[in-house]
Structure formats: structure tokens, C-alpha cells
Structure 1
Amino acid sequence: MRRKIPSNSALLAFEAAARHGSFARAAEELSLTEGAISRQIGRLETFLGVTLFKRVGNRVRLAPNGMRYAEQVRETLDRLERDSLYLMGQPLEGASIDIAAIPTFATRWLIPRLKHFQRRHPNVTVHIAERMEPFLLAGSGFDAAIHFEHPAWAGMHRHHLLEEVLVPVCSPALLAEAGADVSLDDLPRLHRRQNPDAWQIYAQETGIALSNSAVGARYDLHAMLIEAALAGLGVALVPRLYVGAELEQGRLIAPWPDGKGIAKNFCLVLPEPIESSEGPIQAFAQWLLEEARGVAN
């Protein structure tokens, strides 16, 4: 059955006129005459059987139905443009894959290692988008996800990557300014908003006394916590695997024990078994598991 979809020309004319609140300005943007815009919108209204604009003399304004439809059309056109530009940017030879990942894992662990994958598979382009929460992988447009183990991934094929072990870190300057006898309880502590009881759990596990474990600034991402610690704002409880370079360079120090009781597991989530996956995603999955084994060992 033929789809009941208006013409692209009519939708473009309507969206421009709705955005500008003017047929004349829409005509200027689209390099058409004002009469052509008016005719396109008239055809659209006839097609829909709905009045989209109220016409008062030479002026027009959106009717209530037009306001709702304008938002929907704008979203659809924006999405179509993004999808079209995405395809236009694909390599003529080769392939691409889309990976959803936790933001700080992507920036602090995955992206710094991607050059290794590119050397091995120069014709595969890896696109990465952030996803903070688990989601339905099927139909999402993503080939795989890198996330924490979670019941929401039931039915998907999960492969363990790494353990997220939290460790308190701070700038050496912060500790030097506080003096040699300073305790963790004397220093400002930084928190991740999504894990507000992490310091309390850490204190219980390690036996380090904290008079008020909830006091301190809160940040959304571990990446923010790391930057705050580097800036000398306090002690951040962050995954050790994110700060390996800073600890090695001496830009951060970790004089306190790890908090293994608040560890989580990262996993690679695939819609199909690795052996059943298509070439590029299979290659990426195998490479990622090798990289994770190399770090774990």
C-alpha cells in the first residue's frame, strides 16, 4: 500500500515558513518565490485536510495543529539530514561500525587504544556514541555496546572485559600543602553523583574513618572527578584503569588502598555471538577482548 507521506518540497516549505513565521523569508531561504511557498503549503493542507496557518491579510501565523506538526516535521527532517550526512561520510571502500559506550570509558580507555585497531583494520571506521544507561540494543542502530554488567542486557551476548576498581587519588600538591600527618578525613572529598554512597562503602571496607562521608562536591562523570583531582580540588574515588597514565607520570598519587568492595565489571554486549557477527564487528570484538586481556594480565 502506498504510504501517505507529503512531498519533500511541501514539507521543506512548511518547515521553513513555520520556523521564520513568514512565507517571504521561507521563500528567500529556499530560493523560491513567495507564491511557490504559498502553493506548496496549500497543497500540504489539502493533503492533510488540516489548516496549518492562519492567514490575516498579508500576515500568517501557525494554527495549533500547525505548531504541533511543525515540531514533528522539524525533528523528522533533522534526523533525515543526520542520517544522510552519516551515509555520505562512509568510506567508498571498507566498512564502519557503531559502538555505544560509557563516556569516561570511551575517552579514557577505549579511544587511546583505537589506533591499535586501525593499524590492524585500516578499512574499518569506528563510530562511538555515549550511553550512560543500558538500552535495548536491537533496533538501536548500534552494532555493540560497552557497558557495565546489568540485568537489562539479558538475552544479549555479554563478554567480560575489565573490572572497575575504585581508588582514591589526588594531586601531589594537595597532599603537600596539607602536610605529612594529614589523614584522608582531613582532605576535601569529591563524589560521583550517580554513586553517592561510594565513600561510605570505601570507609567501611578499608576501616579508614571518615567523619562525614557525604560531604564534598558532586560531579556527573568520572572524567570530571579526575580533572577536579588534577586541579587540586580534593580526593576523587575513581577507577584505577582511568588514571594509569596520571599515576605513572606523578600527576596524581594514590597513597590509600583500593576499594575493591565497590568494583563493577565492564562488558562487551553484542546482539549475536561473536562467531556469528559480521566481519567488521567480529574483528572489533576480538580485538577489544585481546586488549582487555592484555590489561588484566
Structure 2
Amino acid sequence: MDSLARRLPPMNALIAFEAVVRCGTITAAARELGTSQPAVSQRLRSLETHLGSPLFQRSGRLLKPTPQAQRYCETVAQALHSIAGASEDMKPGRQARPPIVISAPFGFAHLWLEPLLPSMEVAFPERDFIIRAEDDPRVNPQRRPDMEVRFGRHERSGSALRFLFHEAAQPVCSPAFATRHGLVPDDLLAPERLRELPLLHLDEQESRWCDWPLWFQAQGIEDFEADVRLYYNNYPLLQQAALEGKGIALGWRGLVDPLLQEGRLVTCGQAFTRSGRGYGLVLHNLSSRPARQVADWIAEQAIPLADRLPQQGSEGL
């Protein structure tokens, strides 16, 4: 039986390969590794020789890994980070319980992640957590989070990404609001009726989020113009306004589901869905085995949501 040493490629070749895939060019990888371009090129050739397969295709100045090499790189990167993390844990004087920092948008942190924290503490009793509610972690001067929840387009899960659930925005209101305006709870109103009612708006200029104009466009109404006197600058405030009966909000399914199940909110319009877009958990600290375990656990909690998200509505806009 071949020894492990004979089966494994040279470690410096694997490190160079991972760096080139991540950085996109040999020049950038050499700069990161503190070595020369010829040295990185030689390491790539030695790895291709060991594997008996080409690893890259050139696209201008960039090196694009072949599909097989891309999958190989994900496995290599995870293994290298595991070795790095285990090596760090062996060092004398290392902090025994470094807190795991999780960054998430305000609405996600308040409505989905916070109720999950008691179960997370039970699942990981030896770990401490720091939850940072922030829509853009890059503006935070604190340390980079171990993982962050991002809303947007996510192509596929991988070693650094756990897809949580797809975007599904649906009009919701309080039962008191429904009664006051003669609505039947959970009756899906025609968009022409909805546009006549008070609508709650988020002060969010980024196109990644579904807003009322986009929702109405998906329902076939192109001429919707919002008559807005008050904007809410974060999603928890807007959701609270809906709970207080001030109007109809776009509720992100997965986030407002507990409020719907408790009867504190009711649906009143079609769901707007876009598969491939939604919430994803990006793992920055791949070298931390506890961080990877926590990320996997969070992703597992989101799996049942796929069965509960509504199937009606528009797709692919």
C-alpha cells in the first residue's frame, strides 16, 4: 500500500495552487506568498505533473481553473485551512475560547438569528459568540467577522458559502390593520387593491432588495409610483410599524414566519420570489474548525424553510 507521502502532492505546490485560484493571477499569488512568479509557475507545473491533468485555462491575463480543478481547489483549501487551524490550536498560550463573531443585516439578526441564539448556546456550550447587527461589515472598524450573512445572488454553496434560503418577499400586515380596512386575514389581495392602502417603505436604495415598485412590476403594474411621507431606515423598525398596524410591509419569508405562525402578522398579497437570490452565510475564517461547525449548524437550521416558503408569485426578475 502506498504511503501517504507518496500519494500527496508537494505541500508548497498545493499552497501555490490555492493562492492562484483565489487571487486570479500568478503575479498576485506570488506577491501574497512572498516569492517570485517563476517559483509559483514551477510549483503549478509540478502539481499538474503529479495529477497528470491541466489545471488552468488562460482568459486574457487571468488564469481560470478548469471545472475539475475548481472542485479540487475547494477540497484543497478546506484541508489546508483545517491543518492551519489545528496547528494554531497547538501553539502554547493560545486563547482557549476565542469568541466566534457573526455579522448579519439588521433584519436577519433581529428576526431570525436572535431567536436561534439559545439553541446555538446549547449546541456549542464551550463557545462564546459576538453577534454584530450591521448591513455592511466593511465599515465596522472592529475585527473581521468569522462569518457574515449576505443578501444577494449566490451561485452555489461551497467551502466558504452556505446558502440559507431564497428570496421571497410577501405583503404582510397586522390583524388589526386587516380588520380596520375590511380585509380577510391571509386573503391574497389583487395588486390594484393593495396600491390603495397605506404601504410601508424601507429607506434602501440598493437594487438587491425587492421594494414596492419591483413587487408591483412583478404583478404586471408598471406605473406604480410611491407616495411616501415616511421611510424606515432599517428593517426591524419597518417590521415593528407593521406590527403596530401602521400599514402593509413587504415581509421576507423566513424572517417573518414566526410572526405569521403566532398570528401577529397575516399575509395580504402574492409572494415575489427569485431563486438563486437570498441569504447566504459566508465563512471568512476557514481555518477555524469551530467556526466551520457553527456555520454548518446555522445552515442546517435554515433547511426546513425551503418546505415552508410560498411557491406562488413571480420568478426570475
Q: Aligned match of 2:126 in 123, 126, 141?
A: 123
Quote how far apart the aligned CAs of 1:150 are. 6.4
Residue of structure 2 equivalent to 1:161: 164
User: 2:121 aligned with 1:108, yes or no?
Assistant: no
Quote how far apart the aligned CAs of 1:271 are. 2.6
Give the whole-Å Cα distance in 2 for the aligned partners of 1:246 and 1:199: 21
Residue of structure 2 equivalent to 1:51: none
AA matched with 2:298:
L
Percent identical: 29
Q: Map of 1:1-297 to 2, 5 A cutoff?
A: 94-133=97-136, 135=138, 140-149=143-152, 157-180=160-183, 183-195=193-205, 198-207=211-220, 212-261=225-274, 264-271=277-284, 273=286, 277-297=287-307
Does the Cα contact within 8 Å between 2:147 and 2:285 map onto a contact in 1? no
Q: Flag the 1:208–1:170 CA change in 2: closer, same or farther, 3 A.
A: farther
Count of residue pairs the alignment pairs up: 199
Aligned Cα root-mean-square deviation (Å): 3.2
Does the Cα contact within 8 Å between 1:169 and 1:252 map onto a contact in 2? yes
Between 1 and 2, higher relative CO (CA 8 Å, sep ≥ 6) is seen in 2
Give the whole-Å Cα distance in 2 for the aligned partners of 1:108 and 1:261: 21
* Structure number, greater radius of gyration: 1
Superposed CA deviations along residues 101-134 of structure 1, whole A, max 9, x for unmatched, are: 1121111101211222221210101111122125
Does the Cα contact within 8 Å between 2:166 and 2:274 map onto a contact in 1? no
AA matched with 1:188:
P
Give the whole-Å Cα distance in 2 for the aligned partners of 1:284 and 1:191: 34
Give the whole-Å Cα distance in 1 for the aligned partners of 2:268 and 2:214: 18
AA matched with 1:164:
E
The alignment's TM-score, normalised by the length of structure 1, stands at: 0.59
Moved over 4 A (4+): 208-211
SS of the residue 1:186 aligns to? coil
| Unaligned ranges ≥5, structure 2 | 1-94, 308-317
Give the whole-Å Cα distance in 1 for the aligned partners of 2:224 and 2:301: 40
Deviates most, 170-179 or 218-227: 170-179
Does the Cα contact within 8 Å between 1:171 and 1:253 map onto a contact in 2? yes
Does the Cα contact within 8 Å between 1:185 and 1:209 map onto a contact in 2? no
Quote how far apart the aligned CAs of 1:245 are. 1.8
| Unaligned ranges ≥5, structure 1 | 1-91
The alignment's TM-score, normalised by the length of structure 2, stands at: 0.55
